[in-house]
């Protein structure tokens, strides 16, 4: 076993709308090592989210292969893919995407509802995750009662509560001011450094990508590597 976690070979993705075919990713190759904090940069519309979705099993590639650990993601059936996502992937979204009707604690518990954990165990795990992101004082708050930065912390807590193999973040600071954004970046950096989490973060902000251990650029459907920072 080598230390690469994600291996992408010859990956292509085209979107079809009627007879019109839009190629977004064309024959892409990428490897992410275990414990890496990789930033994925590129202009808007270059296919960053598309690539993230493919790695996370939210969408299917047109061609090519995606291996995460032992699993060949593109070969899994829909239901197997869903179960695989629940076990291996933690998503962090630009607009947090919390359930507005649930408290912070209940939001973080959400992925654990799919496990066999008892309600007290679920609660304990969720509290631990919220402690990691520094929100122990906001357990009972609802999303609309939290600031953007706090909501994103809840989003991160929800992503890490199942202890996933890979953390996929799509512009996690894109909707935040500089200060809150820095805090979130610090948090992701900490998860990467101290807990050894592998993180793939999409951003178009150089200030954000500077925190990563490696940066790749996506342009016109192809990847351009950049030196380790």
Partner 1 sequence: MKFFPLIWGSLKRRKLRTALTVSSIAAAFLLYGYLSAIRSGIEVGIPIAGQDRLIVRHKISLIQLLPASYLGRIEKIEGVKQAVHSTWFGGIYQDAKNFFPQIPVNPADYLRMYPEFRLPPAQLEAWERKRTGAVVGRKTASKFGFKVGDRVPIQGTIWRTAGGATTWEFDIVGIYEGADPAADETQFFFRYDYFDEARMGARGQVGWYIVRVEDPAQSEAVARKIDEEFANSPAETKAESEKAFMQSFAKQVGDIGLIIKAILSAVFFTILLIAGNTMAQGVRERTGEIGVLKAIGFCNRLAMGLVLAESLLVAAIGGGIGLGLAWVLISMGDPTGGAFPVFYFPISDVVMGAVLVCILGLATGLLPGLSALRLQVATALRRL
3-state helix, strand and coil shares in percent for the chain, rounded to the nearest 5:
40, 30, 35
Q: Residue 22 binds what, of ligand ADP, partner 1, Mg ion, none (CB under 5 to 8 Å, by partner type)?
A: ligand ADP
List the one residue from 26, 83, 123, 217 that touches partner 1 (CB under 8 A).
83
Asked if 21 is part of the footprint of partner 1 (rule: CB under 8 A), the reply reads no
With beta carbons less than 8 A apart as the criterion, state whether 227 and 195 touch: no
Least distance from Mg ion to the Cβ atom of residue 51, Å: 10
Asked if 85 is part of the footprint of partner 1 (rule: CB under 8 A), the reply reads yes
Asked if 67 is part of the footprint of partner 1 (rule: CB under 8 A), the reply reads no
Asked if 61 is part of the footprint of partner 1 (rule: CB under 8 A), the reply reads no
User: Which residues contribute to the site for Mg ion (CB under 5 A)?
Assistant: 49
**For residue 145, what are its two tokens?**
């009662």
Nearest-CA neighbor of 189 among 210, 161, 204, 175? 210
Q: Residue 79 binds what, of partner 1, Mg ion, ligand ADP, none (CB under 5 to 8 Å, by partner type)?
A: partner 1
Binding residues for partner 1, total number by CB under 8 A: 28
Helix (H) or strand (E) holding 161: none
Burial 197-218 (b: 16+ CB within 10 A, else e): bbbbbbbbeeebbebbbbbbbb
Give dist(CA 215, CA 209) in Å, integer.
7
Interface map 25-64 toward ligand ADP (x if CB under 6 A):
-----------------x-xxxxxxx--------------
Asked if 120 is part of the footprint of partner 1 (rule: CB under 8 A), the reply reads no
Residue ranges of E strands in the chain: 4-17, 20-33, 37-41, 63-68, 71-72, 89-92, 166-170, 198-202, 214-219, 222-225
List the one residue from 24, 39, 66, 68 that touches ligand ADP (CB under 6 A).
24
Asked if 123 is part of the footprint of partner 1 (rule: CB under 8 A), the reply reads no
Sign of CA dihedral 102, 174, 40, 59: positive
* Residues linked to residue 40 through DSSP beta bridges, in sequence order: 202, 216
- Which residue ranges make up the site for ligand ADP (CB under 6 A)? 15, 17, 22, 24, 42, 44-50
- Which residue ranges make up the site for partner 1 (CB under 8 A)? 49, 53, 56, 58-59, 78-79, 82-83, 85-87, 91, 93, 95, 97, 99-102, 106, 110-111, 113-114, 119, 122, 158
């Amino acid at each position: 076993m080598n230390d690469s976690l994600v291996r992408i070979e010859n990956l292509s993705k085209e979107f079809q709308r009627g007879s019109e075919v839009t190629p977004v990713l064309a024959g892409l190759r990428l490897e992410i090592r275990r414990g890496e904090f990789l930033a994925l940069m590129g202009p808007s519309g270059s296919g960053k989210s598309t690539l993230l979705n493919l790695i996370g099993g939210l969408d299917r590639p047109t061609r090519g292969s995606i291996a995460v650990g032992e699993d060949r993601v593109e070969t899994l059936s829909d239901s197997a893919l869903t179960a695989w996502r629940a076990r291996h992937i933690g998503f962090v979204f630009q607009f947090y995407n919390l359930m507005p009707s649930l408290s912070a604690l209940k939001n973080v518990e959400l992925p654990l509802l799919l496990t066999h954990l008892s309600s007290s165990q679920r609660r304990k795990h969720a509290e631990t995750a919220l402690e990691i992101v520094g929100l122990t004082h906001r357990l009972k708050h609802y999303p609309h009662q939290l600031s953007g930065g706090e909501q994103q912390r809840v989003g991160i807590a929800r992503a890490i509560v199942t202890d996933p193999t890979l953390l996929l973040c799509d512009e996690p600071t894109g909707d935040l001011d500089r200060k809150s954004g820095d805090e979130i970046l610090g948090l992701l950096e900490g998860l990467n450094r101290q807990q050894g989490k592998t993180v793939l973060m999409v951003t178009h902000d150089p200030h954000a990508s500077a925190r990563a251990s490696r940066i790749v650029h996506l342009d016109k459907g192809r990847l351009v590597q950049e030196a380790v920072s």
